[in-house]
Amino acid sequence: MLETRSDITLSGTSYIEKAVAGAETKMRTDVVYLTATINSGSISYSVNKTIQDKDTYLKNKESCDKDIAEFEATVMSYIQQA
């Protein structure tokens, strides 16, 4: 027997841009990776976060936590639409 379902997977990255001496462009440092899976029919969902760079996260916690909250709000909007 086969059961087929359609899940939604979202991903995001919270990053910090740092100025590099002598360069016009800033260097991007990925700090937190975010993933979410919304099961078919929005019956269940999961949100995961992985802190890739602990020191940078702690130095930029407020900004990273804002990104995490924004990601979670996006996930909730998908759930509410289903």
Looking at residue 40, what is its pLDDT?
A: 76
In a domain, 1, yes or no: no
Q: What confidence tens digit (pLDDT) does each residue in 28-42 have?
A: 999 999 999 998 766
Task: Specify burial of residue 49 (Cβ count, 10 A radius: 0-12, 13-18, 19+).
Answer: middle
Q: How many domains does the chain have?
A: 1
List, for the chain, all residue ranges whose pLDDT scores fall below the cut of 70.
Answer: 41-42, 82
Give the domain range for residue 28: 8-81
Q: Is residue 3 part of a domain?
A: no
Task: Give the pLDDT of residue 3.
Answer: 82
Question: What confidence score (pLDDT) does residue 42 get?
Answer: 63
- Per the domain annotation, does 74 fall within a domain? yes
Q: Give Cα separations from 78 to 32, 57, 61, 69 (angstroms).
A: 21, 27, 26, 14
Q: What is the pLDDT of residue 50?
A: 98
pTM of the model: 0.85
22 in any annotated domain: yes
